[in-house]
């Protein structure tokens, strides 16, 4: 048995250490760890509680100091009416300012819509948000004037961000679920579209379950490089000539689908000029869309054209992005298609 005092090894059962005579009977000794005095612990808890109360009072006081100025001097009904810039000013009797803001805002939005798909459209859209933010700022100007310039900058940035993410961004998301915009570039002018046109086509909420013959669609073009023909990735715009199961034949200037001549309104955008003779059966999950906007170089023979058009005309259903239903810009030619 080891002595806890001098570590001498004693015989088992010895009542005392042979070397230092310390007691070896420790079973009945109670070891109690030291404890903090009740008074000290109580005072520590009280100080912590007081600190928490003071912190809470400070936060509430600061919040009231921020809110109090806005409660008495801002017409919150007018602010709510400013969901359309200027209407809040009209409500409080400042009709000239209100109608001016409203007219400028509407004009900027109309200009942005007339240039859909271009960088100018985005610039005008952000300018309209700035006018909207200015309309709010004028309504709360009595409070802003008493603020330090640093706080005015923070309030202005917060207002601009709130307008973008609270109003304009949700509207944009909803609009893109209803329709997409494609800007026509690099096509041969035809009766339906020209370079610079902004066309609207169906999106998530408006996309039909299936497309039909004659539908004008926007579709994804797969890149190809056969050594003789190079086709770049992009989007195309043309009419659907055939759907799954159709037997399509083109010979001697006549396009037959299941043995019936195709009406003029259902023909490809650029007609049938330059198409070689073809005999195609459309497979499941495919649409037949002739790429009539291909630019051919001299020396491309009839066989090469036939092979290229036969391969590129088969468009999988997943690559048809949507059906074109309207022209958004330019405005003199805007309308349904």
- pLDDT tens, position by position, 156-168: 888 889 889 988 9
308 pLDDT higher than 70: yes
pLDDT of residue 150: 85
Alpha helix stretches (DSSP H) within 164-295: 169-178
27 pLDDT higher than 70: no
72 pLDDT higher than 60: no
The answer to whether residue 173 sits within a structural domain is yes
Length of the chain: 337
Do 209 and 299 lie in a common domain?
A: yes
Highest mean pLDDT among 65-74, 153-162, 228-237, 300-309: 153-162
299 pLDDT higher than 60: no
For the chain, the C-alpha Rg in angstroms (whole number) is 40
Provide the pLDDT confidence category of residue 56 given band limits of 50, 70 and 90.
confident
How many CB atoms lie under 10 A from the CB of residue 187?
Answer: 18
Pairwise pLDDT comparison (143 vs 180), residue with the higher score = 180
Decide which of 138, 156, 177 is a domain's last residue: 177
Pairwise pLDDT comparison (176 vs 297), residue with the higher score = 176
Structure tokens at 154: 């923070």
The answer to whether residue 32 sits within a structural domain is no
Do 163 and 199 lie in a common domain?
A: no
Do 189 and 322 lie in a common domain?
A: yes
Pairwise pLDDT comparison (32 vs 252), residue with the higher score = 252
Q: Which domain holds residue 6?
A: 1-26
- How far, in Å, CA of 150 to CA of 188, rounded? 55
Burial pattern 140-177, b for ≥16 Cβ within 10 A else e, equals beebbeeeeeeeeeebeeebbeebeeeeeeeeeeeeee
Where is average pLDDT lowest: 66-70, 101-105, 199-203, 327-331? 66-70
Using alpha carbons only, give the angle 118, 121, 125 rounded to the nearest 5 degrees.
150
Highest mean pLDDT among 49-63, 159-173, 293-307: 159-173
- How far, in Å, CA of 161 to CA of 156, rounded? 9
β pairing state of 254-257 and 230-231: unpaired
- CATH code of 252's domain: 2.10.109.10
SS3 145: coil
pLDDT of residue 294: 63
Do 196 and 84 lie in a common domain?
A: no
Structure tokens at 58: 């400070």
The answer to whether residue 37 sits within a structural domain is no
pTM of the entire predicted model:
0.66
pLDDT of residue 301: 64
SS3 254: strand
71 pLDDT higher than 70: no
User: Sign of the CA dihedral 45, 49, 55, 58?
Assistant: negative
The answer to whether residue 49 sits within a structural domain is no
Do 14 and 129 lie in a common domain?
A: no
Region 179-195 average pLDDT: 80
Question: Tokens 């900058």 belong to which residue?
Answer: 153
- How far, in Å, CA of 166 to CA of 157, rounded? 14
pLDDT of residue 233: 82
Do 132 and 217 lie in a common domain?
A: no
Decide which of 135, 152, 177 is a domain's last residue: 177
pLDDT of residue 196: 84
Indicate the number of domains in the chain: 3
Do 201 and 296 lie in a common domain?
A: yes
SS3 257: strand
The answer to whether residue 252 sits within a structural domain is yes
Provide the pLDDT confidence category of residue 277 given band limits of 50, 70 and 90.
confident
Do 327 and 209 lie in a common domain?
A: yes
The answer to whether residue 34 sits within a structural domain is no
Where is average pLDDT lowest: 187-196, 207-216, 253-262, 298-307? 298-307
Region 13-25 average pLDDT: 76
The answer to whether residue 114 sits within a structural domain is yes
Do 225 and 305 lie in a common domain?
A: yes
Do 193 and 325 lie in a common domain?
A: yes
Do 188 and 158 lie in a common domain?
A: no
The answer to whether residue 41 sits within a structural domain is no
Do 255 and 161 lie in a common domain?
A: no
Task: Give 191-236 pLDDT, tens digit per residue.
Answer: 788 888 889 999 989 988 899 999 999 999 888 777 677 777 888 8
How many CB atoms lie under 10 A from the CB of residue 279?
Answer: 12
Decide which of 177, 202, 225 is a domain's last residue: 177
Provide the pLDDT confidence category of residue 15 given band limits of 50, 70 and 90.
confident
Task: Give 82-130 pLDDT, tens digit per residue.
Answer: 889 999 899 888 899 999 999 999 999 988 888 887 788 889 999 999 9
Q: 253 — alpha (psi -120 to 50), left (phi > 0) or beta?
A: left
- Omega cis (within 30) before 330: yes
In percent, the amount of the chain with pLDDT more than 90 equals 23
């Amino acid at each position: 048995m080891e002595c806890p005092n001098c570590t001498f090894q004693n015989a088992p059962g010895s009542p005392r250490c042979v070397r230092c005579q310390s007691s070896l009977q420790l079973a009945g000794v109670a070891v109690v760890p030291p404890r903090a005095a009740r008074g000290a612990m109580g005072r520590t808890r009280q100080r912590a509680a007081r600190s928490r109360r003071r912190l809470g009072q400070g936060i509430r006081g600061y919040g009231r100091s921020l809110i109090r100025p806005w409660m008495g001097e801002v017409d919150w009904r007018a602010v709510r009416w400013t969901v359309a810039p200027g209407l809040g000013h009209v409500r409080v009797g400042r009709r000239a300012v209100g109608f001016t803001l409203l007219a400028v805002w509407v004009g900027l939005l109309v200009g942005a819509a007339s240039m859909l798909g271009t960088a100018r459209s985005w610039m005008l859209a952000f300018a309209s948000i700035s006018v909207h933010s200015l309309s709010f700022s004028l309504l709360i100007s009595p409070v802003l004037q008493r603020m330090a310039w640093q706080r005015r900058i923070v309030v202005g940035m917060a207002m601009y961000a709130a307008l973008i993410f609270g109003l304009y961004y949700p509207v944009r998301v909803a609009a893109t679920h209803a329709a997409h915009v494609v800007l026509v570039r690099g096509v041969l002018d035809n009766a339906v579209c020209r370079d610079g046109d902004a066309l609207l086509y169906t999106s998530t909420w408006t996309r039909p379950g299936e497309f039909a013959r004659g539908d004008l669609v926007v579709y994804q073009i797969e890149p190809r490089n056969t050594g003789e023909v190079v086709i770049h990735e992009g989007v195309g715009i043309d009419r659907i000539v055939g759907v799954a199961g159709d037997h399509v034949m083109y010979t001697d200037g006549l396009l037959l689908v299941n043995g019936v001549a195709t009406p003029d309104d259902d023909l490809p955008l650029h007609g049938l000029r330059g198409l070689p003779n073809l005999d195609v059966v459309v497979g499941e999950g495919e649409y037949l869309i002739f790429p009539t906007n291909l630019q051919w170089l001299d020396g491309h023979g009839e066989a090469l054209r036939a092979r290229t058009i036969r391969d590129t005309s088969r468009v999988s259903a997943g690559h048809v992005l949507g059906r074109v239903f309207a022209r958004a810009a330019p405005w003199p030619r805007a309308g349904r298609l």
